[in-house]
Amino acid sequence: MHDDRRITEQRLDRFVRERILPAIYGRAIPLQLSSWDVPGEPVPAAEALRQIFTPQEPGTAWGKAWSTKWLRLQGEVPQDWGMTDSTTVEIIVDLGFNSDVPGFQCEGTAWRSDGSIIKAISPRNYHVPLKLLGGGQSVDFYVEAAANPDVAQGWSFAPTPLGDKATSGDEPRYRLGRIAVAELNETVWELNQDIWTLSGLMHELPVEMPRRHEILRALERMLDVMDPDDVAGTAAAGRAELAQVLSRPAYASAHELLATGHAHIDSAWLWPVRETIRKCARTFSNVVALMDEDPDFVFSCSSAQQMAWMKEFFPELFVRIREKVKAGQFVPVGGMWVESDTNMPGGEAMARQFVEGKSFFLNEFGIECQEAWLPDSFGYSGAIPQIVKEAGSRWFLTQKISWNKVNRMPHHTFAWEGIDGTRLFTHFPPVDTYNAELHGRELAHAERNYRDHGRGTMSLVPFGYGDGGGGPTREMVAAAHRTADLEGSPKVRLGTAKEFFTKAEAEYTNLPVWVGEMYLEMHRGTYTSQAKTKLGNRRSEHLLREAELWCATAAVRLGEEYTYPADELKRLWRLVLLQQFHDILPGSSIAWVHQDAERNYEAIARDLEDIISHAARALVGEGDQQFLLNAAPHHRNGVPALGAARATTPESGDSPHPGVQVDELDEGYVLDNGIIRAVLNRDGLLTSLVDHASGRDAIAPGHTGNLLELFRDTPNEWDAWDIEEFYRRNVTPLTRADAIDVERSPGAVVVVVKRKVGASTIAQRLTLDAGAESLRISTTVDWQEREKMLKIAFPLDVRADRSASETQFGHVFRPTHTNTSWEAAKFEICAHRWIHVAEPGYGVAVSNSSSYGHDVTRAVRADGGTTTTIRTSLLRSARFPDPEADRGEHTLELTIRPGAEIADAVEEGYRTNLKPRFITGGQAVEPLLSVSNPAIVVEAVKLAEDGSGDVIVRLYESLGERSTGTLKANFECADAVSTDLLERPTEAPGVTVEEGSVVTLVLRPFQLVTLRLMR
């Protein structure tokens, strides 16, 4: 037989485009329009509906960027419309969409006149069924139209002013399209779904497969029997020709895809948080409307923050959502406050993501999420398995690892082993998207791509428009039903994530294991972009630690004289957790988002400083003695951990340490405090750094530390997100100082170095304190560069085959060599407060106060020694999505500590991030608890969430070795129990309560423990 496939396929495409699609809506009548333009930020519906609406001409331009227009739609439906079994009446509203980027352009929300929400109006979901308006033949409702600009601009990554309301312009960005009441021909609509499913399947089948040709000929017969001049009248006949090929059952061994509705709504990204709130309302109203039509449809919603917004701003919709939760259709998943970044949040913050998220879902819906749900975060810390398990969850889902540029993950279903040995059942959907439409192409890819055939038989498919919201459509649900049991296709079944995980876990028992972090081989620049956002996060985490510690201490020590501010602390925690969303903290959002984040961080700091001050003053009472409040988990200057006492510091006038000597030589300066000796040349570069205990020089021969390096930073795409390896080939070392000076005081010597590079100025303060074991370096930059990256380098005389980087509740080792493509891909890595390199018997630690990006390289010198270089990334200057990213003044602090072990690095990290806090009062403050072994680090002290007044202590083994010790409560303690993160009793290996106030700890490496000390 002659091969006429392409002829028939072309015929089909044109017939669908020119005949079927126009016939879906038969008759249509324009509606009468009136409008009101919101003068500023969006207003609640109740306020908008009270305004005076003036006549609105159809087809007019509207909507400067980020503005809102309210439309009133009125008209009458002819009596004979929608009277047959195959027709119904809908209102179609085109706000000026294009169909390419749902969620990234103008959107609307339909409202009834009583202020209740109907559903969304969006590019691929622009219909409103007449029955949703309350019945009758009259049309009278409102559309809240949001002129959100398309910041993505076709993903050209070109700088755009659209991300800042102040620069986005006043010109209208859209033009109203057809707004009419129309008669929907359901038979034509169903025929279009039949064709879409079969054509998609056909194109994925091999040409030599009979099934492909069977579908082609059925489609050809359909084209033959239909009259192009009477599509509505012949659609039923066309469907009949396709019925047989649609009824053929799937192969017995076909892969099973559990499809769960989803809308990955970024809580901020190319739109501000205020718009995300409206996006959620649009999406969730769509979802609820779909559920009313199809009881089989199930939707997975992952963010407690988004549900909290619905409760606050859209209470009527929230009531409807709660009803669908009870019906099992609207299903909370994930159990986190937001889908956060997992690389940069601190340990306690990651724990609180689950505490707040799971608690909200439990309290509001009676649902405990069992899966962690992070499809789009930019890599996954090796600490996550333990945190998820400690939160009482069992499973983990991600999708983003499919973006890896070099190495492909070897499994789709596997056990993920964390840094402490915890294993977590993990699934990585082979469909390679969290925005599936259930097209034949996606389904076939999921089946072909699945790497665990022969062991597992099923995978998960989250479907629905996401990122900018929208969610599933009725077309997607129709596709799911048609592919439930269809020859040549995987079997698609609508269901919940829990159903998938339960069945997959039962069938696939001998799982392969992935150990350690899941490093994303993209988006490495997110460790550095938007430095002020990162500084705000780090500062907020540590202020929250201090606030909870001192408030809990005051509540226990003072009893009824002091009230623990539980509600205020929860509010502030939730605000911090929101900023950790995976497009806010990573610095990958528009300017508006980061301006909001910086304002939030300022307010958080102000409120927490007030809380800390109030609690501290209550604790120390009246007096004229100066006390150091030591919130660190290690003693500091004679003050015990977690307590307050007079400090043996130069500030207290009672220092046991000698002062700092400084000698000025022709070649530079020598600083020595009897513990370390630092030599700086006349350009402020560190030529030598010796700790007197070992006598070793940490700086490699022939090299200089404190070397600022300016790199060209022009990634191929995703500017704020990505750093490409080739950045290293274009570097300018900043070796010359414009000025250098020395400042002396009784307790410290400071070398001040000033430099200029391009349009930027840099001032550094290198400080050696009396009694300090590290050199402090504060770098203040007026940063005016574009597409450049600033790093600070320390070439060390250390033969290190791996580096250690702090992560949540521990640290992760990474090779310094590039033997394999997996290692070579990690050319930029994330570390929290410190990074450490060592050879047996000697190491060096570099700590920081707000940086996360680092790289570690190694080279063998001519003398046979090895130079291991630690670089901390300080600043970037990407131009998309924020063209002014990071421009302005920044202060970035770090320390370098020679002769340091891991324990020293841990201590140095806390010391750098918990600055000395002095207060004047009348009495010292005994710590609420004491831990005998400094390897066991107390991460949080707070009062219990249940309001009982019990003290909650979170601690972890910090050195990566088996550590033993005791925790003693220094207050009247009735009993102690171990709990999970949600403070529910649980068994914790190695935890033994000796008596009410003493707990014996025998902890495995990096083990995380939560204790409830009952008062």
439: phi then psi, degrees, rounded to nearest 5: -75, 155
Are the CB atoms for 875 and 887 separated by under 8 Å? Answer: no
Burial of residue 568 (CB within 10 Å: 0-12, 13-18, 19+) is middle
Distances (CA, A) of 563 to 302, 512, 624: 34, 51, 25
Burial of residue 697 (CB within 10 Å: 0-12, 13-18, 19+) is middle
> Residue 651 pLDDT more than 80?
no
What six digits make up the tokens of 180?
A: 């009419």
Cβ count within 10 A of residue 509? 7
For residues 651-659, average pLDDT: 52
Percent of the chain with pLDDT over 70: 99
Element (H, E) at 299: strand 299-303
> Residue 434 pLDDT more than 50?
yes
**Sorting pLDDT into bands at 50, 70 and 90, what band is 134?**
confident
Predicted pLDDT at 649? 54
> Residue 674 pLDDT more than 60?
yes
727: phi then psi, degrees, rounded to nearest 5: -60, -30
Cβ count within 10 A of residue 515? 12
What six digits make up the tokens of 17?
A: 């485009």
Q: What is the pLDDT of residues 854-913, one digit of tens each?
A: 999 999 999 999 999 999 999 999 999 999 999 999 999 999 999 999 999 999 999 999
Omega before 881 within 30 of 0, i.e. cis: yes
| H-state helical runs in 698-781 | none
Predicted pLDDT at 101? 85
Are the CB atoms for 448 and 489 separated by under 8 Å? Answer: no
Amino acid identity at 581: F
Predicted pLDDT at 655? 45
Q: What is the pLDDT of residues 94-110, one digit of tens each?
A: 999 988 888 999 999 99
The overall pTM is greater than 0.85: yes
Q: What is the pLDDT of residues 181-240, one digit of tens each?
A: 999 999 999 999 999 999 999 999 999 999 999 999 999 999 999 999 999 999 999 999
Q: What is the pLDDT of residues 679-733, one digit of tens each?
A: 999 999 999 999 999 999 999 999 999 999 999 999 999 999 999 999 999 999 9
What is the residue-averaged pLDDT of the chain? Answer: 96
Percent of the chain with pLDDT over 90: 96
For residues 361-370, average pLDDT: 97
> Residue 506 pLDDT more than 70?
yes
CA–CA dist 196, 242 (Å, integer): 12
Q: What is the pLDDT of residues 799-819, one digit of tens each?
A: 999 999 999 999 999 999 999
What six digits make up the tokens of 133?
A: 């308006």
What six digits make up the tokens of 87?
A: 């027709």
Question: What angle in degrees, to the nearest 10, is found between the helix axes of 304-313 and 273-293?
Answer: 90
Query: What positions carry a catalytic annotation?
Result: 376
> Residue 656 pLDDT more than 80?
no
Task: Specify the length of the chain in residues.
Answer: 1015
Q: What does the angle CA 963 – CA 384 – CA 404 come to, to the nearest 5 degrees?
A: 130
For residues 154-180, average pLDDT: 96
> Residue 657 pLDDT more than 70?
no
Nearest-CA neighbor of 940 among 433, 362, 355? 355
Amino acid identity at 44: P
CA–CA dist 606, 603 (Å, integer): 5
Residue owning tokens 């508006």? 592
Predicted pLDDT at 1? 61
> Residue 498 pLDDT more than 60?
yes
CA–CA dist 70, 47 (Å, integer): 11
Q: What is the pLDDT of residues 755-784, one digit of tens each?
A: 999 999 999 999 999 999 999 999 999 999
What six digits make up the tokens of 747?
A: 């307790």
Residues pairing with 236 in the sheet: none
